[in-house]
Every structure is written in structure tokens, then in C-alpha cells.
Structure 1
Amino acid sequence: MSNAIPSTPATAALPIDASSSLWSRVSGWVADNKAVAYTIGAVVVVVTGAGVVYYLNTQKDGDVRKIGEVHISESSSGERQDGSIRKKKKKSKKTKKDDTEKGENAAATSTPPPAATVEPEAELPEFTEENVNEYTAEERKVFAGKLKGQGNEAYNAKKYDEAIKLYTQAILCKPDPIFYSNRAACYNAQSNWEAVIEDTTAAIALNPEYVKALNRRANAYEQIGEFSKSLLDYTASCILEQFRNDNAAASVERLLKIVAETKGRKMLEGKPKRLPSPTFVTNYLQSFREKPAPEGLEDATDENTGDYWLNKGLQDIKIKTAQSYEDAAQAFDKALELGVSEKYQAFAYNMRGTFKYLKGDSADALADITQSIEFDPKLTQSYIKRASMILETGDKQGAEEDFQRAISQNPDDPDIYYHRAQLHFITLEYSEAARDYQKSIDLDRDFIYSHIQLGVTQYKQGSIASSMATFRRCEKKFEKNPDVYNYYGELLLDQSKYEEAIGKFDQAINMEKEARPMGMNVLPLINKALATFQWKQNYEEAEKYCKTALILDPDCDIAIATLAQLLLQQGRVAEALEYFERAADLARTEGEIVNALSYAEATRTQLEVQEKYPHLAAKMGALSSAAAMSGMPR
């Protein structure tokens, strides 16, 4: 798509590719988070109104070449390596470009130009701070060129100490950024990172747009563990080169991950586990077909028994608010603390494990679900939930084995095929996914989300006409369900059919208000915000819808991410950073925190670049304007 904030169907979003640039990742976060609500470990977990989707993380670190020795460059003054002055000629743009490239890579040439003759080092004076001013400016300039030439020869011969002395002499004669950068290359070869930083800093002070020095200093900062400073320099370098340097962009990606992981671990220390937004919880729970409570449980009225609290937790779930979900989690904990009747044990562990999983307490959740299976091997829902937890570790085979165990217990349970279809969907096995969705429909035609997911899968397969037909049938069969209109609208939005899409979102919003005004699913509001922005570039209206969503669901990370991106698109970087940090604070697990912090750090770095390198602010603004005009994400 060509919209400033890309939109993809919430049930069809894919993990961010590691090859994408820093700013593409930042802008892509909104589209991904419309579906990718949480990232845990190596897996992105996606929950939508059409049910939970467990996304295997296909992102790789990439084969990033380490920035090492940078070739010694020729002085911009036109001096040859022997120090002689080249006669100035009027050049074409192409010739100037060629000369620049040759100069930057002078040290890489095997032999100097035939006309150049390097005078013996002994013929050069020994320069000191005391005597250097005894020579004229023109003499110092000539000597500097000769010293640099000899320094280049020593560098190419890997005589780094000798080269350092020669470059130091050249700097005394003429403080040139290239001389500092060349000496830094020698220190780099010796792994003297502090000296590299000192010399590249001097070079950058003389030439703030010296990309090679920025990259070299960034590498040195990374070597000594100053990851935030390294990230800042690589980002400045990317901006100067308009993100055309793949190595620098890859370094930004790598460092974002390192910085986010470091901060994420600190945030996790002592951080209490908590439930995500009610929108997330509701959508997860309704991805399973609603079933009646275990027989007799509703008759439990004694508050001193676990059975009473187990039943109370089920009643709390029906309210669908943040507080009611928290009450339900506490009720399930108390039920097992007091002890439940033997016939309810498997169900009780299943429910407690479910809410522990939603809180991000994966280890305890897995233990509870496994305990549930041991109490009742025929409870297929426990196999399904355990499969999703196993899938989050990247063990696809283990997840498939649990689905097969569930089928062996009850081959006619439609939930098994629905959730196994999700596994196929996220691994791009669309034909297998469509087959399982259809199997789920054949076993139970009244479960709306199987129909919705089938339509989305057809869309991903490129069968647009079939997908639209599926959603039109859904409208007739489930005309009172807002999710049909919400996800139908997303597919229309993906086709840039803005007016039709907004009409569907409005239908979904009105139905949500009527059905559950205090606990409504806010996804249609967020989608309408995106559609409004993409269609008319109306920031004010888009922000209004996002803020309305946050009033109804203050912890909705999708609304927070969307609002952050809208602010970033307007250049309101500081405000955007506040929302990205808020998203990180709401995250539950290390994976979720790292995912959110990576975008927060990218935004923070952009702000720091503007403050530390004010001369780049105009370049950043120009890039943003060009991106907005072309309709591409920033």
C-alpha cells in the first residue's frame, strides 16, 4: 500500500522483517500492532477480534559486516600523497564525484600515481607545537600533505605506530578532519577504542557531516559497550546518507535490539505481572467457542470453598471490563488455594493457567495447563492452549503434536481445527490453514471467527473475490456481530476503498456501543482513525478516535501505538516518545517490553539526533516531507 501509515488486515499482519530500515520499522509498528499485540521470546503473539494468532518470529539478526578499517582518504584540498599540490581544473559533476571516491579510498590503491615521488622522511622537519608556527601556512600545508602520504604508506604496510607519528605531525601542520580520521584508523587497527573515539570526535568537530568518522566512532562506542552512543552515531550517519548505507542501517537495527534488551531486563526486575487490556483479554477468550460451566458449579454458594470462587471467576469474565478480568484472575487463584472438587480440578487449572498466560507468566501457565491435562486427558482445550504456549518457544513440531493429541481425544472438536489453522496461517501455509478453517466451519457453522479467518486467508492467497464473497455471506449470517463489519472494513481499507471501509467501521462501532458500552472492543475506533488519516490526512480526527479508544480502554496498546505513530508523522517526536514509553510500561514479558522499547528507543534517538546534531534537523524534515508527499511510511 502507499499510505503514510500502512494498514493490513488485523488477522493477516506479519512480523517485521529484519532487513527493513529503522524508520520503516517505526512506522510499521502501528500496522503490526493492530494485530501483533505482544511479542514473547522468539514469537510474536497476535490477538484480534477474530481470535488469537500465534506468530512465529521470522526476524533474523542478519549478517552484518563489522565496521573495521576504513581506507585512508585523499585530502579535499587536492594534495597528492607526496604532498604536491594538484593544479586545479574545472570539473564536471561526474569527475568531481569520481575524484571524491578515489580520495576516500586512496589507501586502498596498490601503488601511488607514477608522477608522485615521496621524499625521504628524513628530509622533513620534526614538527612540535613550539616550532610549527615558524613555517608559513603554505609551507605547513605542503608538509602536511607529505606527512599524510608517508602515513598512508606506513598504514598500508601495517606499521601503525609509525603511521600514528606521521599523522600526528600532519595534524600539527594542518588540523584536517581527514588526518584525524586516518589516525583513528590506526588506533582502530590496534583496538585502542578510546583513542579512536577521541580522534573521530575531533574530526567530526571539524566536519559535522563526516560520515566515515561517525561510523568509525559508532563502532568504537559499540566495542566498549556504549550502545546508546553508538546507536546515536549510526542513526546520524543513516540520516546523512538518506538511509542508503545498508551496513549502517543494519547496525542501527542491531543496536536498537541491544539497547532495548538491556533496558527491558532492568524494567522487568521486580515488575509485577498484570493482565493486558480488556480488548486483548476479550479477544483471546472468545477465540474459543463458548461452553457451559461444568455441571453443578453454579450451585456452589459457600464462600469458604474453592468451587464458589471458581464459579465467581466465570461470572466475572462475563462482565468484560479491566476490573472484572482482574477479579476473575484472583478468583481462580483463590479457588485452587482453597481446593476444588475433584470433578472440577482439570477445569480450574485450565482457567488459572489461562489467566497466568495472559499476564505473561508463561512458565507457571504451562505448568497449570499440563496439570489440567493430567487430571483430565480428554479436556481438549488444554491441549490447544498448551500448543500455543509451546509454539511461542519456536517449537512448531511440539505444538503440532499437542494438536494431534487433542484430535485423538476428540476428533470432532471444531476448536482444534480453528487453532491449528492459526498455526498454519502464521507459517504462511495458507492452503493448509484454509482447509482447517473449513473443517472447523463444517463441524460448527455458528462460530463466526472461523468464517472471518477463512475470508482473511483467502485474501492473503490473492483470492480477493472469494474473500469479499465470504465476508458478504458473513454479513447475512452474523448481521448483528460487530466483528464482521470491523474485519470486512479492514480488507476494504487495505484496498484503499476508504469510504466503504469507514462505513463498515461505523457499523461496528455502533453495534459495540449497543452491546457493551462500558466494555466495548475499541478496534473499530482505531481502524477508523487509520482510515481517516489515510484517506484525508486528517490528523486531528484520527487523534480524536484514538483518544476516545483510550478513554474506553486506557491500557489498549494498539491505540497507544497508533497515536504514537500519528504524532511521529507530524514531527511531534517528544509527544510520540511519551506514548511509545507508555506502551513499554504496559508490556508484560521481556519479549513484549523489548518489542515496545525498540520503537521507543528509535524515537528517542531521532529526538537526540535533532538536539545533538541540529544541522541534521533540516535533512530529517526534508526526508519526512518527501515521505509524506510520496505516501510512503517514514
Structure 2
Amino acid sequence: MKAFELFKRNPPEYEEAADWFSKAITIAEAHESLVPQRIALYNNRSACRERFGALELSLEDCAVVLAANKTHAKVRRRRARIFEKLGRHADALVEICADLLIQREDFKRSLQQGRTPEQPAPAENVEAVMRAVGKQRADEIIAERKRLGTKFKLPSPNTITQLLMTYVKYSERKSQAEAINVVDLENQVNSIEDDNVVLETLVQMVTVYTYTKRYQEAQAAVERALTLLQKIEASSSSHVSSKCLAEIWRYVGLFRHLTHELSESDEAYRRSLELETDSLLRAETRVKLAGVLVDSGEADKAEAELVQALKEDPESSDVYMHRAQLHVIRRDLQSAQADLEKCIKAAPDHVLARLRLATVLIHNQVDSMEIEEHMLACEKLAPDMSEVYQVKGEIALANNEIETAIQHFDKAIALDSTNPVPLYNKGMALIQLPDGGRDPQRTKDLFEAALKVDPTCMVALMRLSELKLQLAATFDQARDVVDMLDRATVHCRDNDELLELSTVRAMAIAQLEAAQNVGLTSFQM
């Protein structure tokens, strides 16, 4: 046949071959006896049209083939390639999933027939396509949030506590706050007439509420203090000390950061710096400002603030602690290790720094004895701290000591029921048990427990969604997973987590649509 000859020439003449296939299609459509050949002719013309760049026309031919045969694997793969070239990544992902489903169905049939088939394999570009779909949606969500000026609620108490614990003064401030009767402060605020004195008392209340984990009340007190400050400034009767004003703006910066109002947080910290004279507090304020800059995607500016903070306080363990986290984000674990070691040298009792160093040392493949030394120090310094046993479990899991890891996670859970991480980690440990010991339902329950404790625990939510998709038997169950992922975007404030969440959602939607497109009657992946 002339069309095949042109297709196979060296060099091939795809456009002319497509014309000849068109002529053959016209003849086939005019003769009932040639009906079986029509689909093959459309498929061949589609292949030619793809080769010479007539992509939309090629897609039209693909549609004809799939209308007659939903499980035509070559056409599914061709559509995936074309959609990717056209920038239609979501459509490409559906076709990639459809191709994989067709392979799996063929694999099952071959096994039933006693043959030894090749294992199903996804397209090599599946990760890139999936990421492209996820990034597009994440970018759309971020743009919409900026347009609407979206505000978040406070994160979970555990998340806030973990942030505060990164600062070396946390334990001291916590002890001082626990020794103050906040009711007395509240009574003073309600009985004192001098607004300046009330403002200073409100700042004390914020400190007590913050370091006794009454974060909602602390946030309310910050707003009350800010409103009163504006009133005092408008009346020109202010005699509030610069120290108090600096502290107010530092708390405004903290709580604006927690609600992800990053520009307002940035401004508040800078106003605090204009007022603060204590070099140690100035360094701490710069470290907090650096955290806002990191979350704003301005890592270089954050690093510059940390450098300036070291000039304010050369012995600041806070700087080393937070610069280490910046190194982790940049995947520079050697530098992270060096800064954490400096942090511990400056503050040997800094438990969280030792725990983070232990996890970094695992990744840097440092001798286990050094890791064990830090963990023993942590147990001695904080024997009732959930995070200590959480990290011990993570170390055991990294060494493939699964049962030991589970025991540590259980202890971490028992010590602090508000900590979602050991619940999630235990679920991940159960997944790694040998086949006979795995319990998907128990794993699912643990991920759900982590989310009940902290709805913003995105890692638990993403693993839960993947597990639910694996267990889904009906299309409705699969749609429920997509709905769950949609709801989760409301809580997700970290851009990297939002990207991963959007990517998991993209794959779930593609799998669901692909299963329906190839004619499956259930959602058994």
C-alpha cells in the first residue's frame, strides 16, 4: 500500500502518507466489507499526523479509534504525547494513567491464561507531567489567595509550640509565664484607667498566654493591644516605653506570621527593630523576620537577616538553629550539621537542636555512636518530651528496626496526644512491616488520628489519600478522596506542601477519569 511505503521511506514522507491514508479511509467508509480496516487506517493516519506536527488533527483521529476501542494502548500513549506537547498536562496525565490501567488489565488476563507477561510500567515522564499539573493548580491557588487577601486561622497548638521551642529562651519564658496568675493581669486591665499602663499589662498577658499554650487568647490580646496602641497614638498622650512598644510589634509579627499574613508580619518585625535597643532581642527579632522571609520565598534576604543577627549577638544559638533550617531547605545538610553543632555549643541544653542534629546526622551517614550520644543527652534533659521518642523512633526506622521504632512512637504518643508526628510515623512504620504484618486499616486509622489532632498535618493527609485510593473499590470512594484533598487546600499554607498536595490530587483525578474512560466498572487500582 502506497501510504505504508511513504511512511517507511528514508526519510519518511509522513504528510503525503497521511493523504494516502485519507484516500483509503474514504474508500473503506464507502464499502461495508472494509469496516474492520477503518480503525486501523484512522490509527495510522493519526500516527502520520503526529509525526509532521498536525497535532489537533491527530487527536481527532485518536478520538475515532477510541470510540471503537477504549483500550487501544498505542492511541492512549499517542494522546499522552500530544497533550504534553500542547501543554495540556492534565489531559496527558489521564492518558498516562489509562495506558497503565490497560497494561494492568492485560497483565491480569495473561496470568489467568497461564502466560508470563511483562510487568506493567508507567510512562517515563509520568512524574514530570504529574508535577506540571500540580504546579499549575498550586500557582492558581496562590494567585487567588493573593487577589483575595486570604487569611488563615492559627495553626495547631502543636505547630505553634514547636516553633516557639526553636528559640533558646523558650523554657525560661515558659517557667516565668507559669508563675504568673493571668487572672490578676486581666483584673488589672479591667480596673486601670490609664491606657498606657493597660497597654503594658496587655503585653504581659500576651506573654503569659503565649507561653502557657493559650494561643487563641494570646492572639486576641495582641489585637486588643494593637487597637489600644492606635488609640493612644491618636490622642498624643503616649508615654509607653520603647521596650514595651518593641515587644508589642514583635508579638504582632509573630501572630501575623502564624496566620500567614507575611507582609504585615514583615512590617511589624521591622517596626520592632526600630524601637528595640537590647542587642539580644534585636538578634531574636531578626531571626523571626528571617523566618517570614523564608516563607515568602526570599531565602537570600532571610540569610542576610541571619548574618545581621549574628552581628547583633555573636553568641546567638537562635541564629544557628534557624540558619540550619534554611540549609535543610536548600538541601545543604553538611552546612546544617555545622550550624546545629554551633547552636549546641552555645546552648548545650537546647533539646530541639540536638534532636534536629540527630536527624541530620542520619542523612549525613555519621557514625551511630555520635547520634546515640545526642539522643542520650536529650533523654536526660527532657525525659518526658514526646519529640525525644519520636526522633528515637525515626532513627530506629532509618535502621530498619521497625518493631523498635513502633515502640518509641507509642511512647511519644502516650507522652503527648497533641503531637501528630508520631501517629503519622507509626502509620509509615506499619506500611514497612513484612506482608504478613501489614494492616492497611490500622495504618489508615493512624493517619486519620494524626489529622484529628492537627488538620494542617499535610504529610499525614497526603499519605492517607494515597492509601484511601489504593483501598477504594468504587468511583464514589475515589471521588471522596478528591474531595478530601480539595478541602485540605484550605489549611495548607506552605507553598511546597501545597505543590505536593496539588500533585497528589492531580494523580487521584487522573486515575479516576482514566478508569472511567477505559470502561472499568469499579475503581480497583
Both proteins in one fold, TM over 0.5: yes
1:485 corresponding residue in structure 2: 389
Alignment match of 1:251 (pick from 106, 129, 133): 129
2:285 pairs with 1:382: yes
SS at structure 2 position matched to 1:252: helix
Residue 344 of structure 1 pairs with residue 344 of structure 2: no
**For 1:541, what is the secondary structure of its paired residue?**
helix
Residue 235 in structure 1 maps to residue 235 in structure 2: no
Matched ranges for 1:24-35 at <5 A:
none
Query: Offset at 1:448?
Result: 0.6
**Per-residue deviation at 1:82?**
6.7
Give the structure 2 partner of residue 370 of structure 1. Answer: 270
How far residue 168 of structure 1 moved from its aligned partner, in angstroms, is 4.0
Aligned to 2:72: 210
Q: Aligned residues, how many?
A: 470
Counterpart CA distance in 2 for 1:477 and 1:449 is 11
SS at match of 1:217: helix
Equivalence for 2:207? 314
**Equivalents in 2 of 1:392, 1:260: separation in Å?**
15
Deviation at 1:225, TM superposition (A): 7.1
Once the two structures are TM-superposed, the CA of residue 223 in structure 1 deviates from its matched residue by 7.1
| Structure 1 pair 321–191 and aligned structure 2 pair: CA distance change class (3 A) | farther
The residue aligned with 1:576 is 481
Change in Cα spacing, 1:552 to 1:404, as seen in structure 2 (3 Å) is closer
Contact 1:316–1:327 (CA under 8 A) maintained in structure 2: no
Separation (CA, whole Å) in 1 of partners of 2:101 and 2:214: 45
Distance 1:186 1:583 in 2: 44
- Where does residue 409 of structure 2 map in the other structure? 505
Report the 3-state secondary structure (helix = DSSP H, G, I; strand = E; otherwise coil) of the residue aligned with 2:189. Answer: coil
Alignment of 1:271-310 (within 5 A): 271-289=150-168, 290=170, 292=173, 301-302=188-189, 305-310=198-203
Structure 2 counterparts to residues 395-406 of structure 1, below 5 A: 395-406=298-309
Counterpart CA distance in 2 for 1:248 and 1:525 is 31
The residue number in structure 2 matching 1:88 is none
CA distance in 1, matches of 2:16, 2:218: 69
> What is the match of residue 44 of structure 1?
none
CA distance in 2, matches of 1:605, 1:375: 54
Superposition pairs of residues 417-496 of structure 1, within 5 angstroms: 417-463=320-366, 464-496=368-400
Q: Give the superposition deviation at 1:342.
A: 2.5
How has the CA–CA distance of structure 1 residues 276 and 325 changed in structure 2, closer, same or farther, with 3 Å as cutoff?
Answer: farther
Q: Does 1:557 find its partner at 2:458?
A: yes
Q: Distance in 1 between matches of 2:450 and 2:18?
A: 64
| Alpha-carbon distance change, 592 to 435 in structure 1, aligned in 2, over 3 angstroms | closer
Aligned to 1:545: 446
Query: Does the Cα contact within 8 Å between 1:187 and 1:195 map onto a contact in 2?
Result: yes
Q: What are the Cα deviations for residues 393-439 of structure 1, in whole angstroms up to 9, with x where unaligned?
A: 55544333222211111112211111122223333433332232222
Alpha-carbon separation, structure 2, partners of 1:460 and 1:396: 22
1:262 and 2:140 are equivalent in the alignment: yes
Distance 1:425 1:266 in 2: 29
Corresponding residue of 1:131 = none
**1:582 CA drift (Å):** 2.8
Q: 1:316 to 1:540 in 2, by over 3 A?
A: same
1:29-54 Cα distance to aligned partner (Å, 9 max, x none): xxxxxxxxxxxxxxxxxxxxxxxxxx
Contact 2:462/2:504 (<8 A) preserved? no
Distance in 2 between residues matched to 1:166 and 1:353, nearest whole Å:
72
Q: Secondary structure at the match of 2:416?
A: helix
Cα distance in 2, alignment partners of residues 167 and 359 from structure 1:
65
Matched with 1:169 is 26
CA contact (8 A) 1:234 1:249 kept: no
Partner of 1:95: none
* Contact 1:353–1:366 (Cα < 8 Å) also in 2: yes
- Find the counterpart in structure 2 of residue 127 from structure 1: none
TM-score by length of 1: 0.65
Give how far 1:348 is off.
1.9
Tell me the amino acid that sits aligned with residue 110 of structure 1.
N
Asked if structure 1 preserves the Cα contact closer than 8 Å seen for 2:70 and 2:517, the reply is no
- Partner Cα distance (1:344, 1:384) in 2: 19
In 2, are the aligned partners of 1:498 and 1:531 still within 8 Å (CA)? yes
1:529 aligns with 2:427: yes
CA RMSD of aligned residues (A): 3.6
Aligned partners of 1:511, 1:82: CA distance in 2, in Å? 74
Unaligned stretches of 5+ in structure 1? 1-79, 85-105, 112-152, 514-519, 622-634
Equivalent position of 1:71 in the other structure: none
- Aligned to 1:276, the other structure's residue is in SS state coil
Summarize the Cα distance change of 1:372–1:276 in structure 2 as closer, same or farther, 3 Å threshold. same
Q: Shift in Å at residue 492 of structure 1?
A: 0.7
Deviation, 1:523, is: 2.0
Q: Report the more deviating stretch, 232-241 or 283-292.
A: 232-241
CA deviation after TM superposition for structure 1 residue 574, in Å: 3.8
Q: Is the 8 A contact 1:215 1:248 kept in 2?
A: no
SS at the partner of 1:275? coil
The one-letter amino acid paired with 2:518 is: Y
- The answer to whether the 8 Å contact 1:414/1:441 transfers is yes
Unaligned runs of 5+ in 2: 104-119, 233-239
- Cα–Cα, structure 1 residues 606 and 479, in superposed 2: closer, same or farther, change >3 Å? same
The superposition leaves residues 429-480 of structure 1 with CA deviations (integer Å, 9 ceiling, x where unpaired) of 3333223222222222221111112212221111233213321332233222
- State how far apart, in whole Å, the 2-side matches of 1:237 and 1:267 are: 36
Between the aligned partners of 1:601 and 1:336, the Cα distance in structure 2 is 47
User: More helix per residue: 1 or 2?
Assistant: 2
Distance 1:83 1:358, change over 3 A: closer
- SS class of match (1:479): coil
